[in-house]
Amino acid sequence: SLMAQPDQLIITGQLLDVRSGKLMPEQAILLEHDRIHSIVPLNTLTSAQWALPLTDLSAYTVLPGLIDMHVHLTANPAQHGYRRLQQTPARQALFGVTAAQATLQAGFTSVRNLGAAGFADVDLRDAINAKEIAGPRMRVSGPAICMTGGHCDNNLLPHTYQASGDGVANGADAIRTKVRSNMKYGSDVIKFTATGGVLSRNTDVNASQFSLDEMQALVAEAHDRGAIVAAHAHGLRGIKRALEAGVDSIEHASFIDDDSLKRAKRQGTYLVMDVYVSDYILQEGEAAGILPESLAKERTVGQLQRQNFSKAVKAGLNIAYGTDAGVYTHGLNARQLNYMVQWGMTPLQAIQSATVTAAELLNWRNEQGQLNVGVLQAGAYADMVAVKGNPLQQITLLENIPVVIKGGELVKKVD
């Protein structure tokens, strides 16, 4: 083993190896502080190891803590559209405290937060890391970067108010500066918008945002800083341009075609397709303040995105799990797993997308170069969830996770 002495023992009924899909009976997980020391068959434990502080999960199937690669923990799903103008970044961070807790309790031990005003996500992450509040491990983008009038600009008010989004930049040089300043103020990853969006006022989901030259400058600068790049893109032209610029993931990817699927596969670009949220927007969105024009846009996006998701699964793309929680209720992140199964994934593929595949896109590694999250192996954080029964047979078991462990700490156990 890489590390010194184990100081805690977790025994399992069975352990799901998410890489192979194998269920391994009666495994023991030895921890050292907040990381996994080693995993060994129960019947090989020494008496010294049996004497360690013990968590007994022998009645459960244990798998890695889940990862949601597209959340907005600082967004209140009851306050869309004009209601959001009332919220300062400080208020959003305070809301994020409850959202972070709900997300962790749902078994999501890591999230990538893609877009927050005033770096409220940086503050939320830092408060969680300082153990002031409970929440998942957060990798955060700070403000999403976009052009004037783009999806992440504030387009709700006339020019007299001079309102604009924190991430607005135009031209390659200004965009490089914005990437540098995001990194300076604590971003781990870079998010930008390559097309209009559903929930922004007066943007067209099919219209491209940023020129190729602007996107290339953004990607080069982010990669120089060691940050991965997530591109919000619904429309095909914006998807193609983002692929050309070499982004790490396409978010939404709603109108992706066969050529772009091929290209994404060839380049190893990940897709993050939020195939649940459409139901929430169309059913609950109006009451939550979503604008009529946004509801109309959603009606053109939701079903096509799901059909294209099926094509992406068939074509063997890397699909990382991302839900856009924050648009809808925090803590319901796992609902999308079953949608992904309905639209063509096996339960194992859906679980992989929310564990090892997400972790590979995140590319967050320990000193030995191994994944920190998304896998149960020596050197990774001791983040895991446990369910009674077999999630490979019944994916919806993950919608009600009774046991959550983050960094070796039992954060939830209900019977």
Binding site for ligand ARG (CB under 6 A): 197-199, 252, 274, 277-278, 298, 301-302, 305, 324, 327
Least distance from ligand ARG to the Cβ atom of residue 290, Å: 9
Least distance from ligand ARG to the Cβ atom of residue 194, Å: 11
Task: Give the whole-angstrom CA distance, residue 22 versus residue 12.
Answer: 14
Gyration radius from the chain CA atoms: 21
Rama region for 119: left / alpha / beta (φ>0; ψ in -120 to 50; rest): left
Indicate the residue among 306 and 406 with the shorter CB distance to ligand ARG.
Answer: 306
Give the bridge partners for 55, in sequence order: 10
Sign of the torsion angle spanned by Cα atoms 399, 404, 407, 411: positive
Indicate the residue among 100 and 301 with the shorter CB distance to ligand ARG.
Answer: 301
**Cβ–Cβ < 8 Å for 12, 386:** yes
Least distance from ligand ARG to the Cβ atom of residue 309, Å: 10
Indicate the residue among 49 and 310 with the shorter CB distance to ligand ARG.
Answer: 310
**Within the chain, how many helices (H) and strands (E) appear?**
12, 15
Indicate the residue among 121 and 274 with the shorter CB distance to ligand ARG.
Answer: 274
Indicate the residue among 32 and 324 with the shorter CB distance to ligand ARG.
Answer: 324
Indicate the residue among 285 and 379 with the shorter CB distance to ligand ARG.
Answer: 285
The one-character DSSP state at 212 is: H
Least distance from ligand ARG to the Cβ atom of residue 215, Å: 18
Chain length of the chain = 415
Least distance from ligand ARG to the Cβ atom of residue 197, Å: 3
Helix axis angle for 120-129 and 89-105, nearest 10°, is 50
Indicate the residue among 340 and 375 with the shorter CB distance to ligand ARG.
Answer: 340
Indicate the residue among 6 and 322 with the shorter CB distance to ligand ARG.
Answer: 322
Least distance from ligand ARG to the Cβ atom of residue 133, Å: 25
What is the end-to-end Cα distance of the chain in Å, rounded?
34
Task: Specify the 3-state DSSP secondary structure of 197.
Answer: coil
**Cβ–Cβ < 8 Å for 339, 323:** no
Rama region for 344: left / alpha / beta (φ>0; ψ in -120 to 50; rest): left
Least distance from ligand ARG to the Cβ atom of residue 198, Å: 4
Which residue's Cβ lies closest to ligand ARG? 197
**Cβ–Cβ < 8 Å for 323, 106:** no
Indicate the residue among 153 and 274 with the shorter CB distance to ligand ARG.
Answer: 274
Least distance from ligand ARG to the Cβ atom of residue 387, Å: 27
Cα 215 to the chain's mean position, in Å? Answer: 22
Give the bridge partners for 40, in sequence order: 28
Beta-strand runs (E) in 256-325:
270-272
Least distance from ligand ARG to the Cβ atom of residue 300, Å: 9
